[in-house]
């Protein structure tokens, strides 16, 4: 590799603080690392997700408690924090789902070309961010 591209930097044992900010990822790389980050975020927030499931389905009274969390807050967190965290969860789920469907599609159809990797990655990023904005507008009461 280095003989073919003498000026191309090699990344071995990369330093997270020095090399990562200057390393430009291709779209497929962004989809990949965001797939991982979104999964980890949902793993850590699983108790909040189940709390939402619990309060929203258990009874009329708990449903009101669920709704008021987005306005009056929950535990030590004010309402807007719950809204922002929920928006983060919406994005995490959408990205993870759409990027996962991309995986399944690539496995099923053996779509392994560089061009398909790039175009499908741009599709995933556009759709997940677009849907997050649409649902986020609903979450913040814009329509």
Partner 1 sequence: MSVNFGSKRIVVGAHYGLRDWLAQRVTAALIALLTALILVQIIFSSGEIGYDTWASIFSAQWMKALTFATILALIYHVWVGMRDIWMDYIKPTGVRLFLQVFTIVWLLACAGWAIQVLWRL
Interface positions with partner 1 (CB under 8 A)? 36, 39-40, 42-43, 46-47, 50, 53-54, 56-60, 63, 97, 100-101, 103-104, 107
Contact call for residues 129 and 98 (beta carbons, < 8 A): no
Helix, strand, or coil (residue 96): helix
User: CB 6 → partner 1: shortest distance, Å?
Assistant: 29
CA torsion, ordered 117, 121, 123, 126, to nearest 10 deg: -160
Radius of gyration of the chain (CA): 20
- Looking at beta carbons only, is 76 or 104 nearer to partner 1? 104
User: CB 48 → partner 1: shortest distance, Å?
Assistant: 10
User: CB 42 → partner 1: shortest distance, Å?
Assistant: 8
């Amino acid at each position: 590799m280095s003989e073919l591209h003498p000026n191309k930097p090699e990344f071995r044992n990369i330093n997270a603080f020095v090399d990562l900010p200057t390393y430009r990822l291709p779209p497929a790389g962004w989809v990949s690392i965001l797939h991982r980050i979104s999964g980890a975020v949902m793993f850590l927030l699983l108790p909040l997700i189940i709390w939402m499931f619990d309060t929203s389905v258990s009874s009329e009274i708990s449903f009101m408690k669920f709704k008021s969390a987005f306005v009056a807050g929950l535990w030590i967190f004010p309402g807007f924090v719950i809204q922002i965290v929920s928006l983060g969860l919406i994005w995490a789920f959408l990205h993870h789902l759409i990027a996962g469907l991309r995986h399944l599609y690539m496995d099923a159809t053996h779509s392994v070309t560089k061009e398909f990797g790039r175009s499908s990655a741009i599709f995933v990023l556009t759709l997940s961010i677009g849907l997050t904005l649409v649902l986020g507008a609903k979450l913040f009461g814009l329509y």
